[in-house]
Amino acid sequence: MIYPEQRTVRVFDPSGASRLLRAQERLEVDWLPGFSVCVAEFFEGL
């Protein structure tokens, strides 16, 4: 889930566990090998 006002992203894994990432953090998950993005990129242009 993406929260533009707070510039945060909540990431859920297949087990249902979640974690909240802030704009300065990178989104990298074991279950999507090779995927890596800075959370701030989701909010560029807003």
pLDDT at 29: 83
pLDDT at 31: 79
Instruction: Say if residues 42 and 9 touch (Cβ distance below 8 Å).
Output: yes
Question: Exposed, middle or buried by CB within 10 Å (0-12, 13-18, 19+), for 5?
Answer: exposed
pLDDT per residue over 1-46, tens digit each?
999 999 999 999 889 999 999 999 999 988 789 999 999 999 998 8
Q: Which residues are registered as beta bridge partners of 2?
A: 9
pTM: 0.80
